[in-house]
Amino acid sequence: MGLVSSEDHAEFVSRRDSEELLAAIVLKTADSRAGIFGPDSASWKVNRESALFLGAGRAALLQLAHPWVAEALAQHSTLLSKPIARFHRTFRIVFTMIFGTLEQALAAARYLHELHEHIQGEMPSDVARYKRESHYAANELAALRWVFATLVESAVLAYECVLPPLTPSQREAYYVESKILAGLFGIPAGALPENWDSFRVYIKQMCGSDALGVSATARAMAQGLLAGAGSWIRPPHWYRALTAQWLPARFREEFALDFGAADQRAAERTRRWLPGIYRRLPSPVRYAGSWLEATARLDHRRAGPLIRASNRFWIGEPVLPFCG
């Protein structure tokens, strides 16, 4: 498929590249108030669910398994010292892209590209195929693609943990839409696998290749995240067990995660009891505030107190930002 590339053939997304992708998205958007997807989209159906939080730990660890990504986070982010702030920023950007107006989505994309322009450096040691003193940059295409892929796949995994599985056509529709979203990240559609099945092949190939590898830094960051470092919130045992179960065995070992018999039982019990509870949750808890805000916007209503409270949990602000 030609997508598991070496740092020797690195491609970097320039500001011009990003603007060309955004211009193409503008041309495809039918209703700027509804944003790039809208209420009938598979993207709104999947990403409105608070269940996405279930896959957040898995996505974070898989991202840390990319040595360039791990080093960029170690040197340029507040992942361990302020994990909640990092959580808020991630969902603030992604939810604005998905549920915001077209103008908000474009502003979020430009903010992300500018943020990434300043994130670069050198590897302090050899990890996997990446050599000491090799250069990394956050706007490198292969690294961007991997980070994006972990978000897309983990969202489906979390959704299907508590809700009926997507049909093949729904899953394919979600993936096709995700390729549009990728343009906001600076990733052209041609740099992504053609369909959902080939996307899963790409994930499997990456997980078995030396394009990924867990450094000592990444291992310490992962252990800190799962222990609740820098936060008063400690992930419960069932969440840590579920996260470990969803990782390939290779990365459970490389991250030195506990996943003994008790952990396996905890993960399986969670997958039995959680769906019934989740489906009975009230709307302001089950659905992300950004989706509730978007539906209110389309109904010409303002975001009420419950929506604003939900937004504060997810994005750290009462309403979607980047209003221009």
What average pLDDT score do residues 109-115 get? 95
Q: Helix, strand or coil for residue 198?
A: helix
Residue-level pLDDT at 83 = 81
Band of residue 197 on the pLDDT scale cut at 50, 70, 90: very high
What average pLDDT score do residues 272-299 get? 97
pLDDT digits (tens, 9 = 90+) for 134-157: 999 999 999 999 999 999 999 999
Which residue in 35, 118, 17 sits closest to 75, CA to CA? 118
Residue-level pLDDT at 311 = 96
Residue 126 within any structural domain of the chain = yes
Residue 191: which domain range?
A: 11-281
- State yes or no: pLDDT of 291 exceeds 80: yes
Residue 211 within any structural domain of the chain = yes
CA distance 163 to 159: 6
Helices 83-99 and 168-184, axial angle in degrees (round to 10)? 110
CA distance 51 to 164: 13
Q: Helix, strand or coil for residue 62?
A: helix
Please name the amino acid found at residue 151. L
Residue 291 within any structural domain of the chain = no
Tally of domains in the chain: 1
Please give the helix or strand (H or E) that residue 12 lies within, else none.
none
Alpha-carbon dihedral of residues 212, 181, 303, 110, nearest 10 degrees? 90
- State yes or no: pLDDT of 1 exceeds 50: no
Residue 308 within any structural domain of the chain = no
Q: Specify the higher pLDDT residue, 12 or 83.
A: 12
Residue 51 within any structural domain of the chain = yes
Q: Where are the alpha helices (DSSP H) in the chain?
A: 15-28, 42-47, 56-64, 67-76, 83-99, 102-117, 141-162, 168-184, 196-207, 216-227, 237-246, 249-254, 261-278, 283-286, 289-298, 305-315
Residue-level pLDDT at 3 = 63
Residue 273 within any structural domain of the chain = yes
Please give the helix or strand (H or E) that residue 210 lies within, else none.
none
CA distance 220 to 265: 25
C-alpha separations of 299 from 103, 293, 317 in Å: 18, 10, 21
- State yes or no: pLDDT of 2 exceeds 60: no
Q: Helix, strand or coil for residue 78?
A: coil
Other residues' Cβ atoms within 10 Å of the Cβ of residue 33: 12
Residue 290 within any structural domain of the chain = no
Residue 244 within any structural domain of the chain = yes
Other residues' Cβ atoms within 10 Å of the Cβ of residue 101: 22
pTM of the entire predicted model: 0.93
Other residues' Cβ atoms within 10 Å of the Cβ of residue 30: 8
- Contact in structure between 73 and 262 (CB atoms under 8 Å): no
Band of residue 4 on the pLDDT scale cut at 50, 70, 90: low
CA distance 66 to 211: 7
